[in-house]
Structure 1
């Protein structure tokens, strides 16, 4: 009973800090049985298709699906290694960006974002036309102490000028905090500037950030956890404010790691298929 009272108290405090609403996912389709580790997804409007990637241990490929769930083909990314691909993003011109920045142990020194030009997306093999490498401005140890495991990342969004990264807090004593970093959207090696510290909730399995997406109008960002979506109205760096976050409880727990806007009113969410469990699905979610 004491544990229940403590959990309720923490939940109440959290609900007071951010607006919270419950929304239900609708199962849309099942992924191909070979695609059990989808960790990034975009709805690429010029092709009107869903593009996805899988994380480390998988080939350097993108997977193309129709919006009704038919797997179309794979696209091989030349001269690249899937060290730990964790998210996909896109800009307003239809260019695709691969976040090769998974960093579970917080010891990588080869973090990078890869750009695929929209003009190549009809091909079965593509080249990287821009490579952005980066390092976190406040990380000094590789790896840091367990209490400072702040530097994993599974989520980012893209604007014409910048990338915004949202970290996955793996620090001992998880308190729901995550960092927002900013990097220029251009070739080169850059210091990732920390521009905000935000919070979800205190349960790591429910509250660690696993994916991100920006809508077509560029004025709303969605962040994903295993059972929540956090919506943030976006205008500029100052938008990353705790009071701006609206939390949508999904009423469904699974290893959700990919999210994208289909339009300003609807999101697609994908989960991984864990061994012996359900998963490997794409869901639809109304956000307005």
Structure 2
């Protein structure tokens, strides 16, 4: 009889965290231009193959464009804007750009804004006059609030269906891990923010779990929330209920101050990073490729899990159904015919797997833990 060790109990306890975690390799594209040493946002123009970014701490009311070699192209000042703490940029399908001046590190600001640059990509005037959205939080009455309530910072924004969707950067102590999802019309005016949804990024370390950027794919089927050493990919959501979709967590190979993310295709993303003096990696533009096929399959498998089974002796008896075994990434690794009654796991390393059983009437998934 094979005994379950303490380490195997830890494996069991960590199963759900492991299911949601994959590693995403980042390839360096270029160094960001010197004008963007505090890059805090990123937008990729798919028509012209040009990148846009902005600084969050130099207090200049301007943003910049550059190419994939890191060569600076142009600077775009906004004549009626101030840069208190610019943190995000996004655009709609009509060429209007939105810049979020809603960074709020101390949770004490009462002048939060979003600048609207109508049809920016159509003319790119040398000096731009912005329309303005002014924001306040329904739930904030103290500036700053107590440490346990400091969830009024913001660094993530996307455009979807005539609205701007904002995601909070959590600065609570003790850290709760909650990011709030807010929605406002993408029109100039004064708006009060009230959460419509939330997501717990988990963990006790804010540097590895707070949300610092967001991006929506061109086909509007994938949402990314970015952090310093990981990101969360949401898919299979309905309408704008992004945080209710299937979520996959991607770990980056290293922690750095990544703050900008943008899709170039439905499965290709770029990530920008601030320059931090003395850091081993900084000031780069990265590219990553997403495997959306396995991500979608993984989401369906997780949704249909009905039970969990431990495999301790390398063999598992199954029902007389067609059966498929998937790895943690949602990739098919074995298919077993209905007449086969026992599955051999002798060649499988210890880890977590999905077993999908397909009958005439339904499909169900068993979570398998081999130790």
For normalisation by structure 2, the TM-score amounts to 0.71
- Cα–Cα, structure 1 residues 188 and 108, in superposed 2: closer, same or farther, change >3 Å? same
CA contact (8 A) 1:25 1:252 kept: no
Contact 1:219 1:235 in 2 (8 A): no
Pairing of 1:165-204 with structure 2 (within 5 A) = 165-202=166-203, 203-204=205-206
Structure 1: state its 5+ residue gaps.
none
**Native 8 Å contact 1:270 1:280 kept in 2:** yes
Give, in whole Å, the separation in 1 of the partners of 2:111 and 2:12. 38
1:287 corresponds to:
290
Runs (4 or more) in structure 1 with deviation over 6 Å come to 8-11
C-alpha change, 1:174 and 1:209, in structure 2 (3 Å) is: same
Displacement after TM superposition at 1:13 (Å):
6.6
Question: Relative to 1, partners in 2 of residues 1:30 and 1:76: Cα closer, same or farther, differing over 3 Å?
Answer: same
Question: 1:95: Cα distance to partner?
Answer: 1.4
Hey, what's the Cα distance between the residues in 2 that align with 1:99 and 1:249?
A: 26
- Give the deviation of 1:10 after TM superposition: 12
Q: Per the alignment, do residues 146 and 74 of structure 1 end up closer, same or farther by CA in structure 2, a change over 3 Å counting?
A: same
Shift of 1:9: 8.2
Partner of 2:253: 251
1:250 and 1:71 map into 2 onto residues whose CA distance is: 27
Would you say the 8 A contact 1:103–1:151 is kept in 2?
yes
- Determine the C-alpha separation between the residues in 1 that align with 2:32 and 2:200: 31
> How far apart are residue 212 of structure 1 and its match?
0.6
Check whether the contact 1:84–1:102 (CA below 8 A) recurs between aligned residues: yes
Cα distance in 1 for partners of 2:184, 2:86 equals 18
Equivalence for 1:76: 77
Q: How does 1:134-149 map to 2 (within 5 A)?
A: 134-149=135-150
Mapping of residues 36-115 of structure 1, within 5 Å:
36-115=37-116
CA distance change for structure 1 residues 9 and 115 in 2, over 3 Å: closer, same or farther?
Answer: farther
- Give the TM-score taking structure 1 as reference length: 0.90
RMSD of equivalent CA atoms: 2.0
- Rate the CA distance shift 1:151–1:11 in 2: closer, same or farther, 3 A: farther
**Following TM superposition, by how much is the alpha carbon of 1:109 offset from its aligned partner in structure 2, in angstroms?**
1.2
Match of 2:129 among 127, 130, 135: 127
Is the Cα contact below 8 Å between 1:92 and 1:160 reproduced in 2?
no
The 2-side partners of 1:149 and 1:13 are apart by 31
Deviations 1:197-226 (A, max 9, x none): 211121211111111111112221111100
Measure, in 2, the Cα distance between the counterparts of 1:131 and 1:160.
Answer: 19
User: Is 1:224 paired with 2:226?
Assistant: yes
Distance (whole Å) between structure 2 residues aligned to residue 45 and residue 15 of structure 1: 35
Question: Partner residue of 2:327?
Answer: none
Cα deviation code 1:27-62 (max 9, x no counterpart) = 110012232100011002233210101103331111
